[in-house]
């Protein structure tokens, strides 16, 4: 694959990760959750896959608030295939997670308001609340939870 094609191929996944990290089009809690996800297994995957690029191009960048991803994005035309794959896969996994949360939130809106309206968002508390009220959930919400593997 030529360098220009790789660069174009990586623009969409990098944009997804960057948007999630920057919180574009998301509430602060979604941006914080995406940031937390990037500090866990997804961040490790990107750090390992892009180690040489991070060392070569981004060594002087202060980590946090998506700055390392912005640095990788700025050097997108110089990324190795290994780094591109790590970024692409992380973006795909993050997008699937966001879609799952959005699906459950949409299908469980009434149940969330009824049973979990006073639960603080974050650290799995809302998911635990839904699990605690499994027998009381609407059929649509129950199916959504099953669809995303939460039931």
Q: What is the pLDDT of residues 104-146, one digit of tens each?
A: 889 999 999 999 988 888 888 888 899 999 999 999 999 999 9
Averaged over 38-66, what is the pLDDT?
86
- Predicted confidence band of residue 28 (pLDDT cuts 50, 70, 90): very low
Angle between helix 28-39 and helix 3-22 axes, rounded to 10 deg: 120
**Of 100 and 38, more confident:** 100
- Predicted confidence band of residue 36 (pLDDT cuts 50, 70, 90): low
Question: Is the CB of residue 90 less than 8 Å from the CB of residue 46?
Answer: yes
Tokens of 61: 């960048």
In this predicted structure, what is the pLDDT of residue 31? 42
Whether 7 and 57 map to the same domain: the answer is: yes
pLDDT at 17 over 80: no
Within a domain: 102 = no
In this predicted structure, what is the pLDDT of residue 12? 47
Tokens of 19: 């948007």
Whether 113 and 85 map to the same domain: the answer is: no
Name the residue range of residue 69's domain.
3-93
The Cα–Cα gap between 82 and 51 comes to 10
HSE of 39 in the Cβ direction (CA atoms, 13 Å)? 9
Task: Tell me how many domains the chain contains.
Answer: 2
Tokens of 13: 């996944």
Whether 119 and 88 map to the same domain: the answer is: no
């Amino acid at each position: 694959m030529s360098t220009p094609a790789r660069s174009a191929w990586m623009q969409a996944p990098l944009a997804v990760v960057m948007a999630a990290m920057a919180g574009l089009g998301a509430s602060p809690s979604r941006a914080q959750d995406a940031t937390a996800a990037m500090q866990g297994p997804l961040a490790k995957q990107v750090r390992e896959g892009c180690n040489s690029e991070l060392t070569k191009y981004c060594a002087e960048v202060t980590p946090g608030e998506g700055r390392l991803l912005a640095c990788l994005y700025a050097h997108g035309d110089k990324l190795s295939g290994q780094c591109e794959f790590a970024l692409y896969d992380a973006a795909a996994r993050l997008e699937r997670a966001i879609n799952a949360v959005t699906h459950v939130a949409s299908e469980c809106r009434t149940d969330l308001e009824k049973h979990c309206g006073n639960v603080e968002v974050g650290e799995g508390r809302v998911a635990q609340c839904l699990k605690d009220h499994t027998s009381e959930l609407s059929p649509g919400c129950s199916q959504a939870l099953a669809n995303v593997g939460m039931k």
